[in-house]
């Protein structure tokens, strides 16, 4: 299957992207691994005609927003994100009608339709610079309440929360972290800002997935407790083979990020199936909010 995928990639002029949470065998056959926005930006800069995105639906949509001239394939079309499903454009419009005309900062873990009615997007890596770039003293952040609370703790702005969350990051408990810290007292604890505030408060560093990879590589410490989806342990071990990584909890495993198998990639490339295409009437306003964030990051 891997050999056939290589042949098809060349025939289709395709590139395979894999999110950091994908299974090891998927990451191993990818041309690029990383977080969702990082991958979409890199893919937009390639001369590939086809993007095979191994991740979930909102990630493929983001690639389509940034690369409308490329065909974006999601090998398992129903791979989704529970957090992204916790907000709809209609609910966002209703909330804005209640709050007034506030700037909306939307996490990239959201649908293209929600991005289209947002002011600017953010990632877990750049959330603070995005929030502080807005001149208004009051904003609405969607859909992750934990990321919003983390941002609120680092700024003077008034941030209205949306009651969304990642079920796997949000489920991490203080007791679980304390147990792992007790078992590995020399290890630093790195938490993702999608974790609840009480978990973030226990962390030695609060970072995105890409931030965790960079931090572990540059740190003099040898042991780390990783407070994010367990899929990140694989690229961490590959990046830092001389260091030891412990999961904060084995319950932090997203089944949606594990749906894609190698045979799905093969079928997708053979049949050009699983296309994700954002309609222009949504893509253009969504691009404005994504591009505003990308420009700020530059």
The pLDDT of residue 297 is: 75
Give the right CATH number for 168-253 from 3.40.50.150, 1.10.1660.10, 3.40.50.10800, 3.30.1330.10: 3.40.50.10800
119 neighbors 142 (Cβ within 8 angstroms): no
The pLDDT of residue 6 is: 97
**Assessment of whether the complete model's pTM goes beyond 0.85:** yes
Chain segment 149-171, per-residue pLDDT in tens = 999 999 999 999 999 999 999 99
Domain 2-82+257-277 fold: Rossmann fold (3.40.50)
243 neighbors 235 (Cβ within 8 angstroms): no
The pLDDT of residue 44 is: 85
| Nearest-angstrom CA–CA distance, 34 and 122 | 16
Mean pLDDT within 113-129: 96
Nearest to 72 by CA among 91, 90, 48, 89: 48
Q: For a pLDDT cut of 90, what percent of the chain falls above it? A: 94
Sheet of 188-191, strand order:
205-206, 188-191, 223-227, 244-247
Domain 91-165 fold: Rossmann fold (3.40.50)
269 neighbors 247 (Cβ within 8 angstroms): no
The pLDDT of residue 41 is: 87
171 neighbors 252 (Cβ within 8 angstroms): yes
């Amino acid at each position: 299957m891997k050999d056939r995928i290589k042949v098809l990639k060349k025939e289709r002029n395709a590139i395979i992207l894999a999110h950091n949470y994908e299974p090891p065998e998927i990451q191993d056959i990818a041309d690029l691994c990383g977080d969702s926005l990082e991958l979409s930006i890199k893919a937009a800069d390639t001369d590939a005609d086809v993007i095979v995105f191994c991740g979930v639906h909102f990630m493929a949509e983001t690639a389509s927003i940034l690369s409308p001239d490329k065909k974006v394939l999601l090998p398992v079309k129903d791979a989704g994100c529970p957090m992204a499903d916790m907000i709809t454009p209609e609910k966002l419009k209703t909330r804005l009608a209640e709050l007034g005309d506030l700037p909306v900062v939307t996490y990239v873990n959201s649908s293209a339709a929600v991005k289209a009615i947002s002011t600017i997007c953010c990632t877990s890596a750049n959330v603070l610079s995005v929030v502080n770039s807005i001149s208004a003293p009051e904003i609405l952040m969607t859909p992750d309440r934990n990321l919003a609370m983390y941002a609120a703790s680092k700024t003077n702005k008034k941030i209205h929360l949306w009651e969304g969350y990642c079920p796997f990051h949000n489920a991490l408990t203080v007791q679980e972290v304390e147990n792992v810290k007790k078992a590995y007292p020399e290890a630093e604890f790195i938490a993702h800002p999608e974790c609840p505030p009480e978990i973030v408060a226990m962390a030695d560093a609060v970072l995105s997935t890409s931030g965790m990879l960079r931090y572990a590589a540059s740190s003099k410490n040898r042991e780390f407790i990783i407070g994010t989806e367990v899929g990140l342990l694989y690229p961490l071990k590959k990046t830092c083979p001389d260091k030891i990584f412990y999961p904060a909890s084995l319950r932090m495993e997203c089944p949606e990020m594990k749906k894609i198998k190698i045979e799905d990639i093969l079928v997708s490339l053979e049949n050009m199936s699983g296309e994700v295409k954002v309609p222009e009437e949504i893509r253009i306003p969504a691009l404005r909010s994504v591009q505003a964030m990308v420009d700020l990051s530059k």
